[in-house]
Amino acid sequence: MKKFQTLLYYCYSPIADAELFAAEHLTFCKSLGLVGRIIVAEEGLNGTVSGTQKACEAYMAAIKADERFTKTDFKVDDVAEPSFIKMHCRYKSEIVHSGLRDPNVIDPNKETGKHLEPADFQKMIDQEDVVILDVRSNYEHNLGRFKNAVTLDIENFRDFPNKINELAKYKNKKVLTYCTGGIKCEKASALLLQHGFEDVYQLHGGIIKYGKEAGGKDFEGKCYVFDNRIAVDVNSVNPTIVSTCYSCGKVTPKMINCANPECNEHITQCDDCGDELLGCCSAPCMTNPRRRTYDGTGYYVKVPQPILAK
């Protein structure tokens, strides 16, 4: 029996004095013994936390008890060990970096795509007048994506607004957006509506919820997650692998971060190339004096750099 849980969640809800809230929330999370990463902004919360089942249940109860966050939808995974090493709770201008900060322009609480539960999303994806749109970054959809999905050449979600014109040819279609947990779709679908797309939907709870409630049917490959698991299985119905090794081209489901911390590129890499290149994406990265020791996972805990005396 797995003794720990990992919670993935977000909630768009105004937070007054969000910077103070972030500091107090960090103290609260530490008091429960949780580890993870939470972003707090005036627009809401975005987090992944991990700990014992008791601690996670206490955390979910506390969030739900706060009238600002009662609508929070938690995705819960049972895990063999905590998915983080430390607990971070940081204040930022947005809970997901999009560059769309003005609530008078984009506010998911006022306008967003129609939310589709996993079963309804599954029923729609094979319809002829439907376009499935992946709003995630390259390294995420390279690892796994829905069958026949339209993917965008973007390094970060903040690049999404610049791709709207490329999507104009789908304005007469039903556009079904999806991402890992749903948070990016809230703003992506709203932006599409503002640019004249009339029939816009989003997968409620994202890929993770779809895997849990609909068996992950027709999601090809694995899903990238932002913790030390790096990638998780989604499809238990008709699973397949679509990612290939960045170094040799061989089919592989494994994703790593380059061992050179000055590169830290997210790449899919087979075990043979990982061993040969010491977890690096290229030979030049192998020579970096700060190269991290590759343990086969490709996940590295961030270590603060020493402050040099002036």
Which of 234, 236, 231, 288 lies closest to 264, judged by CA? 288
Would you call 273 a catalytic residue per the annotation?
Answer: no
Distance of CA 150 to the CA centre of its chain: 18
Annotated active-site residue in 179, 185, 258, 270:
179
- Give the Cα separation of 125 and 130 in Å (integer): 7
Cβ neighbours around 159 below 10 Å, total: 15
Instruction: Calculate the CA dihedral of residues 37, 41, 45, 48 and round it to 10 degrees.
Output: -10
Which two structure tokens, joined as six digits, stand for 175?
A: 């556009």
**Residue 9: in which H helix or E strand, if any?**
strand 4-12
Which amino acid, residue 144? G
Judge whether 216 and 232 are in contact, CB under 8 Å.
Answer: no
Q: Would you please indicate which residues are annotated as catalytic (active-site) residues?
A: 179
